[in-house]
Structure 1
């Protein structure tokens, strides 16, 4: 049932009451109204519902409406908490992914450092072995060049020191 304007309906009832004494047609012909019985039926139904509420039969309806309102409020709060938890989980997943990337990067750096250290040990060992066997200065100079080449592969992003500087 649609909501009605009780003031307009009351005005029609007053016109109708007044028209009983004047003539058979209480409404001007230019204005179209629905029959007064329709408005009367609507307001009688409204009065019946209000009477049930006041008499106690409708109290259950009011209690249920109140309960539904409370449940709706709880649902809204729960949805808000779920949204907040979902957002926090997304942030935590992002941080976890960031940590994994950092961990992989650190692992790669450690592996690279270990590889360079091993190469350096091999180079020092090779120079030491050759230096003990040879006393020829030309050969030692050749070994030094090879040694510098090996060192340059260990730290390619670091410029080699210039000769004569310490």
Structure 2
């Protein structure tokens, strides 16, 4: 299994566990390879990420995905930052991590983690496309957010507190 941590910091020698609202203990977060594209955006960029699950209805697949395998929707207001941000993709060892959220692809470790290496990503839209994920740019995310949340799709809504007001 391959795990990653994407950051805007190019010089992380090790990851120390930090408190989280989503776990009872401080943890180091990592993302699995299947969901890595969801994090190929500036950290605070709001996004709606979705893909079909085994239990997704044919109607939802057709309505939201069409021929796409997976989609990340972002707001137009973030486009310039997306286009110009460089991220650093840290390869993480799988030892010590446990699955925290299968749908989102989140893994956590309760001990410090030394990355195996780091690569820079200078063209985020191209990197997302290389993961066979479609990037959609919308004026607002809220209508899609609400529709996807009530669908049968697998989804992750990230940093929505930073989205434009409804």
TM-score normalised to the size of structure 1?
A: 0.17
Name the structure where strand makes up a greater proportion of residues. Answer: 2
Name the structure where helix makes up a greater proportion of residues. Answer: 1
User: Which structure has the larger Rg?
Assistant: 1
- Structure possessing the higher relative contact order (Cα contacts under 8 Å, 6 or more residues apart): 2
TM-score normalised to the size of structure 2?
A: 0.17
